Structure 1
């Protein structure tokens, strides 16, 4: 599976995500400005050698805010998606071996999927208040039924294979069969879904911050920078370019990785 990330779409996606992530991690080296510091007399400056993306309406360096915004976006994505994947996978695993748990899990999955992600985000923010915690909960909750149903379907399909039936015939227990024979067969589909979910998580985080229920100001967020840029594009056209390129790059990068992994799985 790792071979597909060394060429073609897989390599392109890995490089795209890697370069953006590295820029976020090296934010302190790439810019001398603090993302929260207001620079005297630097209101909505256009791009220059001093401020590569210009400054915003509150006199803050935009490059600095975009770079530190990358950190926020990736931290939330890499926290929320694995959390949802673990909970969903455990629910799907339990549902595949217990009929009562299966019924309960399916109804919970239906309930979560009944609400569009942003509608659920708005409702949650109204109860708990906006912030990064709300973004993590929304993304994790949205991924639970996705991973739960995928692993349940994969386990039920693999359990019908002849080698699994043979193991059960000779006396192998259910959990031993799952651990030794079934789970190794369903890991690959989960890696593909993980990449797709990370792509969605980047978009959801930006969307929630864009409408004001995500990462709270003055902390930098790609979505909030885009929102602030709308009323100020005439003064600084580069205001929205940085965050838009980053969100697009991360989303495309994770999608390319997912496509490469999915193609390798189908061929394999």
Structure 2
């Protein structure tokens, strides 16, 4: 997995009276509106899965590989006769639950390590080497290593995604703190007797927050791919619990016979990734102004 390039921290700026907050301006842009619409459709489909699904996602029937529009099966059925619409909806629900927990966990741990690294040069060296060790493993290699120890399941997927995001957020925040503490306001606060902890938490961190918000949107996109890849390789969430990557893996042998088998999960992944990418781009454009 290629680690996304960090977003450089912005310079402190004074907002003119009457001007909108950068986040408000970003979220009202055309890119953000399209992105939020796509994300909202996928999230809404996952949240309303129990209401929208007409069948249990694990219930089998004798109608294997039925095409779209079959009686009682809007998207058809899989090779075991399970309703594809129900499995896609619950697969979205599973994927959202995993990434919504794993990415914030990785962000919190990464920021905690960044604060620890900037406290003392010796700690900085230790933390940076730990980050280098994690980044030395590509995402899928890291996933295979962890699942070889813990076995496949939801918890290992969460651990893999969180661990992969720790150095990303850690380096992002560390770079921001190193830049911001040389600014005039930080120097003035130190001269005025402000302690190191208060200086970082009260004055510097607010000016490092914007790039982290953008990074969360980027990391959610990466998490969708990583979770899907793990499920596709069979080391993710265990069957019969549906995931989008697991459905794609199941559909692979039947693409020639039933191309629509993979259409549902592909469309859901496309909407989610495209929406997150547009949102991240809109936020990044606005905070760089």
Same fold (TM over 0.5): yes
Select which of 223, 230, 240 maps to 1:218.
240
Q: Are the counterparts in 2 of residues 54 and 236 from structure 1 also a CA contact under 8 Å?
A: no
Q: CA deviation at 1:234?
A: 3.1
Deviates more, 1:216-225 or 1:232-241: 232-241
Structure-2-length-normalised TM-score: 0.90
Q: Are the counterparts in 2 of residues 80 and 137 from structure 1 also a CA contact under 8 Å?
A: yes
Whole-Å separation in 1 of the counterparts to 2:24 and 2:155: 33
Q: Are the counterparts in 1 of residues 78 and 261 from structure 2 also a CA contact under 8 Å?
A: yes
Whole-Å separation in 1 of the counterparts to 2:65 and 2:281: 40
Q: CA deviation at 1:31?
A: 2.1
Identify unmatched segments of 5+ residues in structure 1: none
Alignment-derived partner of residue 192 in structure 1: 214
* Superimposed CA distance per residue, residues 144-181 of structure 1 (whole angstroms, 9 cap, x where no aligned partner): 00000110000010000001100100111111111221
Whole-Å separation in 2 of the counterparts to 1:221 and 1:31: 15
Whole-Å separation in 2 of the counterparts to 1:128 and 1:31: 32
Alignment-derived partner of residue 201 in structure 2: 179
Alignment-derived partner of residue 38 in structure 2: 16
Select which of 65, 78, 83 maps to 1:44.
65
Q: Are the counterparts in 1 of residues 29 and 282 from structure 2 also a CA contact under 8 Å?
A: no
Identify unmatched segments of 5+ residues in structure 2: 1-22
Select which of 53, 57, 61 maps to 2:83.
61
Please show how residues 39-188 of structure 1 align to structure 2 within 5 Å.
Answer: 39=61, 41-48=62-69, 50-188=72-210
Whole-Å separation in 2 of the counterparts to 1:55 and 1:180: 55
Whole-Å separation in 2 of the counterparts to 1:259 and 1:234: 36
Deviates more, 1:3-12 or 1:116-125: 3-12
* Number of aligned residue pairs: 266
Deviates more, 1:4-13 or 1:65-74: 4-13
Q: Are the counterparts in 2 of residues 46 and 237 from structure 1 also a CA contact under 8 Å?
A: no
Whole-Å separation in 1 of the counterparts to 2:120 and 2:281: 33
